[in-house]
Amino acid sequence: MNIPKHDVLLIGGGGAGLRAAIAASETYRGADIGVVSKVYPMRSHTVSAEGGTAAVMREDDNLDLHAYDTIKGSDFLGDQDVVEAFVKEAIDEVIQLEHWGCPWSRDEDGRVSVRAFGGMSVKRTLYAADKTGFHMLHALFQTSLKYDAITRYDEWFVTSLLVEDGRVCGVTALNIRSGNIHAIGAKSVIICTGGAGKIFPFTTNAAIKNGDGMALAYRIGCPLKDLEFVQYHPTGLPGTGILMTEASRGEGGHLVNSKGERYLSEYVPGKMELGPRDILSRSFIHEQHQGNVFEGPDGSYVHLDLRHLGEKVIDEKLPFVRELTRNYVGIDPVHEPIPVRPVVHYCMGGVHTDINGATPISGLYAAGEAACVSLNGANRLGSNSLTECLVFGARAGQVAAQHAADTDFADSASMAKMAQDEQKRIETQFFGNNGKERVANIRDDLRKTMEEGAGIFRTEDALKATCDTIRTLKERYENIGIDDHSRVFNTDLVNALELGYMLDVAEGLAHSALLRRESRGSHARSDYEERDDENFLKHSLAYQTDGDPRIEYLPVTLTRWEPEERTY
């Protein structure tokens, strides 16, 4: 029985996945790389990133400063050895991307420009106007086309990780176009599937971000780390959640409440609009409680005011913001303030990996938002995530390729058999049981309970209720029925499989949040308002069990920075 096999197999073809694929193919001659992605790679959500990519590029900056900003931003939950490696390797990575054609914005002298960003103490965010992610992704994708060693499986959807003798040896994947499930063998598998913002109702995240890879790892016993940390971006459009980049504030935009005040002077006087995202998002809620916000059909909002920047700066530095606001809310930021509110944006947590992207399971790696290498801790700084995709995508690609060089493929026949079993499992579960539950209804209920229990502010009671609801939703999921029983491009089936992933990630997230009885970074407990270093200066690890997840803890790696009070 012949099945396709690759030394290194990527799940996901966004920023981290493509960087890893290129790194893997450059690690040793003859390495054969596969990239499985449920969308064509240039559709990946990296494309929506706007503001920029952080690296130390200028004379007024240094590695320790970038490291300290990141660690303080993380509320001291970032692993400091990881942060130190990150800031150091970031520089070469952004230059490498420059060599690969990324159209970075430039200063008059021809050097790449840098802009200010939240929580960064100097200008260190490279950018390509306000379409940085789009340009990075397309530069990476187009560059990847020249590597003959990379084989793509576009619009293939991974349904499980194959495990033999305790090591990952491949995947089963649904060829969406044909409807068939295939086994793909691999010596190393790297999960680069992005975050899980879509488990919340109101998010900047694209439809595809359902925590697929996190759940795949969780299901084979790999722990998910620090899942309780979910970042709300302070400036999304009400209703749609479309992101208004932090670069709007980096370039000098103001946040103004309904009384016309730049209200952040109450909360982050030293940073104002350039404070970190977690604090800015909480400030909005405080203003809401005080009645200092506007009310609209999509709830409360404040104003992001760019008018004083002028048309020239807006068109040059923030053209996408102008395009989006004109198209979606009929507002021209040159003349009117933009309505904004906090919106779910980023998962700090993810598949537990070490500093190289290796998980505790042999042959399994992860990078990018899907992973938790422990760079971002309890709160990520804006513009560190694109760089994270590059630095840890490259690391994971290299290490996975080295592992592959010393490993053999598992037996093809047994993998083919596993794919047959998987096809039967899926057909029985989704086509065979005449279930009555609709995907969209369970999904809506999940999103609602996540916002209620695991939103910007959390309490024991609300989190318990959310954990209970998720358990009920998982039972309802067993009784799911889908309308579409055909094979070719069955997106109904894909959505049903995605919902299964979402429920698993939500379960791990809610239980991790319930047990973290402190407030740190993005995790704000109204019933435990202080950070508690004595009990919780540690990472949470969620393991799937037959019942509720088991939560264990892991110490934070401290190198040179002692935890201190986090004020700005």
Partner 1 sequence: MSDLRTIKITVLRYRPEEEDAPTEQTYEVEFRDDWVVLDALNHIKDHIDGTLSFRWSCRMGVCGSCGMMVNGEPKLTCAAMLRDYYPNEVRVEPLVNFPIVRDLVIDMTDFMDKLKAVKPWIIREEEKPVSEGEYLQTPDQLKDYKQFSQCINCMLCYAACPVYGLEHDFVGPAAIALGHRYNLDSRDEGNQQRQHVIASKEGIWECTYVGECSVVCPKHVDPAEAIQQTKVATTTNRFKSLVMPWGNKK
* Active site residues per annotation: 233, 249
Decide: is 307 part of the binding site for partner 1 (CB under 8 A).
Answer: no
Site string for partner 1, 37-76 (x = CB under 8 A): --xx-xxxx-xx----------------------------
Q: Which stretch binds partner 1 (CB under 8 A): 267-275, 482-490, 532-540, 548-556?
A: 482-490
d(CA 549, CA 544): 5
Which ranges in 434-522 belong to alpha helices (H)? Answer: 439-454, 460-477, 491-515
Stretch that binds partner 1, among 15-23, 162-170, 249-257, 478-486 (CB under 8 A): 478-486
Beta carbon nearer to partner 1, 14 or 276: 14
What is the crossing angle of helices 384-405 and 15-27, to 10°? 40
Q: What is the four-CA torsion angle of 391, 393, 399, 400, rounded to 10 degrees?
A: 180
Q: Which of 30, 270, 297, 547 binds partner 1 (CB under 8 A)?
A: 297
Q: How far apart are CB 215 and partner 1 at their closest, in Å?
A: 19
What's the min distance (Å) between Cβ of 150 and partner 1? Answer: 12
Are the beta carbons of 220 and 361 closer than 8 angstroms? yes
Q: Judge contact between 348 and 380, C-beta under 8 A.
A: yes
Binding of partner 1 by 101 (CB under 8 A): yes
Q: Do 19 and 133 form a contact (C-beta atoms < 8 A)?
A: no
Largest Cα–Cα separation, the chain:
71
CB of 131 to partner 1, least distance (A): 7
Q: Let me know how many helices (H) and strands (E) the chain has, helices first.
A: 15, 22
Near partner 1 by CB under 8 A, which window of 72-80, 96-104, 379-387, 520-528? Answer: 96-104
Helices (H), 269-383: 277-289, 310-317, 319-329
Least distance to partner 1 from the beta carbon of 177, Å?
Answer: 6
| Given 108, 406, 408, 534, the residue binding partner 1 (CB under 8 A) | 108
Is the CB of residue 121 less than 8 Å from the CB of residue 65? yes
Phi, psi angle pair for 416, to nearest 5°: -60, -40
Interface residue with partner 1, options 3, 63, 65, 206 (CB under 8 A): 206
The answer to whether the beta carbons of residues 189 and 364 sit under 8 Å apart is yes
Q: In angstroms, what is the minimal distance from the CB of 402 to partner 1?
A: 20
- The structure tokens listed for 78 are 């970032």
Cβ contacts of residue 191 below 8 Å, gap of 6+? 11, 12, 213, 214, 216, 217, 351, 364, 365, 366, 367, 370, 371
Given 4, 68, 175, 239, the residue binding partner 1 (CB under 8 A) = 239
Distance (Å, whole) CA 140 – CA 136: 6
- Which of 354, 492, 533, 548 is close enough to bind partner 1 by CB under 8 A? 492
Cα 381 from chain centre: 13
> How near is the Cβ of 523 to partner 1 at its closest, in Å?
27
Could you tell me how many residues of this chain bind partner 1 (CB under 8 A)?
63
Centre a 10 Å sphere on the Cβ of residue 409 and count the other Cβ atoms it contains.
16
Contacts of 482 (CB under 8 A, 6+ apart): 430, 431, 439, 492, 493, 496
Footprint of partner 1 on 495-554 (CB under 8 A): none
Torsions phi, psi for 54 (to 5 deg): -90, 135
Contact residue for partner 1 among 151, 175, 240, 429 (CB under 8 A) = 240
Asked if 362 touches partner 1 (CB under 8 A), the answer is: no
Which residue shows structure tokens 């499930």? Answer: 181
Among 60, 207, 472, 478, binds partner 1 (CB under 8 A): 207
Q: How far is the CB of 212 from partner 1 (least distance, A)?
A: 13
* Residue 428 is a binding residue for partner 1 (CB under 8 A): no
Out of 31, 173, 208, 467, the residue judged to bind partner 1 by CB under 8 A: 208
Q: Which is nearer to partner 1, 96 or 459 (CB)?
A: 96
315 scored as a contact of partner 1 (CB under 8 A):
no
CB of 164 or CB of 484, closer to partner 1: 484
Binding site for partner 1 (CB under 8 A): 39-40, 42-45, 47-48, 92, 95-96, 98-101, 103-112, 131, 134-135, 138, 142-143, 145-146, 154, 177, 206-208, 239-240, 242-243, 296-297, 320, 323-324, 327-329, 438-440, 482-484, 486-492
